[in-house]
């Protein structure tokens, strides 16, 4: 490897520069539709090429180690179940073992040592690829990401964001976030199967800490107060056996990210947010999924009056920015989505999902 390349790697990996770079790379996915529009390429056409290239990159990454090794989850997640089966509370008993992991570039293999307790919600214990740690688990997460892309296949704008190369690389790294995200994508997209969607939503609530917050915000946005309460109750029920098993402090600390005495997690949220670039997958996914819905809502008979009202009160420089959509939706939410006064003129949403069918109702 050339001295110049080594110097670049050394610069990026000094302090927190590399983590900040990865955070920025994840958020850049949100700008891809803008780049495509500036190039004058149809969203549907660009989405096919970008998603195909991203899938190829994910498979190369997971099989060779290229841009990989960003997390130990492919090695630890499939093993935590053994702690539970051995009769120990995984929130209080450390998983101790050594493993070899390819990091960064093909052939760069290092030996790592794990001595951590379980830090997710209980159902992640069962998220495993039997006999296939490492590459097998990475492929499982790539498959989960691929499933969510399939569910979004009618939304080219969403595919440009969620099917971007950087998201593909995070899937190949084996971040277990992709499992609950795939379940939630089904729950929020496949309206024709509400019972199956609700079941998968409940499963997602028991996997990762962000899932209950996302689901609660979703129902708050729709003013469904009972569903918000059910979300909290279901999440709590998953933890009851482990809280009764005890000790309570490490369970509460790991499950709710509350820094109590004896907390086994060294980097607590939100102080170490920038160190965990997979956290940024959640807002990227949220924008990819709900962005086109919000635009269609603003163009519908329900949302258009609120959009026009918000636009009329905004400065000209704000008129075509996404935050205007959020402002319009906020006004509709405060009004309880009551039928507003009729006003003339169609809305002009700032972004859209080219080629997507028109939708109705609140996001």
* Count of domains forming the chain: 1
User: Does 178 map to a domain?
Assistant: yes
User: Does 324 map to a domain?
Assistant: no
Owner of token pair 């891809």: 32
3-state secondary structure string, the chain? CCHHHHHHHHHHCCCCHHHHHHHHHHHHHHHHHHHHHHCCCCHHHHHHHHHHHHHHHHHHHHHHCCCCCCCCHHHHHHHHHHHHHCCCCCCCCCEEEEEEEECCCCCCEEEEEEEECCCCCHHHHHCCCCCCCCHHHHHHHHHHHHHHHHHCCCCHHHHHHHCCHHHHHHHHHCCCCHHHHHHHHHHHHCCCCHHHHHHHHHHHHCCCCHHHHHHHHHHHHCCCHHHHHHHHHHHHHHHHHHHHHCCHHHHHHHHHCCCCCCCCCCCCCCCCHHHCHHHHHHHHHHHHHHHHHHHHHHHCCCCHHHHHHHHHCCCHHHCCCHHHHHHHHHHHHHCCCCCCCCCCCCCCCCCCCCCCCCCCCCC
Q: Report how far residue 28's alpha carbon sits from residue 42's, in angstroms, rounded to the nearest whole number.
A: 19
User: Does 259 map to a domain?
Assistant: yes
Query: Of 277, 279, 352, 349, nearest to 36 (Cα)?
Result: 352
The pair of three-digit structure tokens given for residue 19, joined into one six-digit string: 């983590």
Q: Report how far residue 304's alpha carbon sits from residue 302's, in angstroms, rounded to the nearest whole number.
A: 6
Q: What is the pLDDT along the chain (363 residues), one digit of tens a residue?
A: 566 555 555 555 555 666 778 888 888 999 999 999 999 999 999 999 999 999 999 999 998 988 888 888 998 888 898 899 999 999 989 989 888 888 777 777 888 888 888 989 999 999 876 666 678 899 999 999 999 999 999 999 999 999 999 999 999 999 999 999 999 999 999 988 999 999 999 999 999 999 999 999 999 999 999 999 999 999 999 999 999 998 888 888 888 777 666 666 655 554 455 567 788 999 999 999 999 999 999 999 999 999 988 888 776 555 567 888 999 999 999 999 987 665 545 555 554 443 333 333 456
Q: Which residues contact 291 (CB under 8 A, 6 or more apart)?
A: 157, 158, 161, 322, 351, 353
Q: What is the domain extent for residue 233?
A: 3-69+123-290
User: Does 315 map to a domain?
Assistant: no
User: Does 319 map to a domain?
Assistant: no
User: Does 205 map to a domain?
Assistant: yes
User: Does 332 map to a domain?
Assistant: no
User: Does 308 map to a domain?
Assistant: no
């Amino acid at each position: 490897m050339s001295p110049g390349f080594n110097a670049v790697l050394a610069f990026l990996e000094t302090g927190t520069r590399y983590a900040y770079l990865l955070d920025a790379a994840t958020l850049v996915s949100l700008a891809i539709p803008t780049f495509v529009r500036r190039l004058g390429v149809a969203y549907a056409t660009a989405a096919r090429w970008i998603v195909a290239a991203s899938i190829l990159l994910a498979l190369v990454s997971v099989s060779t180690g290229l841009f990989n090794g960003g997390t130990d989850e492919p090695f630890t997640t499939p093993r935590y179940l053994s702690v539970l089966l051995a009769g120990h509370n995984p929130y209080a008993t450390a998983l101790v073992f050594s493993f070899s992991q390819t990091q960064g570039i093909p052939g760069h293999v290092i030996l790592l040592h794990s001595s951590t307790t379980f830090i997710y919600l209980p159902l992640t214990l069962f998220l495993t690829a039997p006999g296939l740690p490492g590459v097998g688990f990475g492929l499982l997460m790539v498959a989960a990401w691929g499933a969510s892309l399939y569910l979004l296949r009618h939304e080219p704008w969403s595919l440009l964001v969620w099917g971007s190369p950087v998201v593909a690389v995070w899937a190949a790294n084996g971040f277990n976030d992709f499992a609950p995200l795939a379940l939630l994508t089904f729950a929020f997209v496949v309206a024709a199967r509400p019972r199956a969607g609700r079941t998968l939503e409940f499963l997602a609530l028991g996997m990762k800490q962000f899932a209950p917050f996302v689901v609660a915000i979703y129902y708050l946005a729709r003013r469904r107060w009972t569903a918000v309460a059910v979300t909290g109750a279901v999440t709590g029920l998953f933890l009851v056996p482990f809280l009764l098993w005890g000790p309570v402090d490490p369970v509460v600390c790991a499950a709710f990210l509350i820094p109590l005495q004896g907390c086994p997690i060294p980097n607590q949220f939100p102080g170490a947010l920038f160190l965990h670039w997979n956290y940024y997958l959640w807002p990227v996914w949220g924008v990819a999924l709900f962005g086109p819905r919000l635009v269609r809502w603003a163009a519908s008979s329900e949302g258009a009056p609120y959009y026009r009202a918000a636009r009329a009160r905004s400065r000209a420089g704000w008129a075509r920015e996404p935050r205007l959509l959020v402002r319009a939706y906020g006004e509709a939410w405060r009004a309880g989505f009551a039928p507003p006064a009729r006003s003339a003129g169609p809305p002009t949403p700032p972004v859209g999902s080219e080629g997507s069918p028109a939708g109705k109702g609140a996001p």
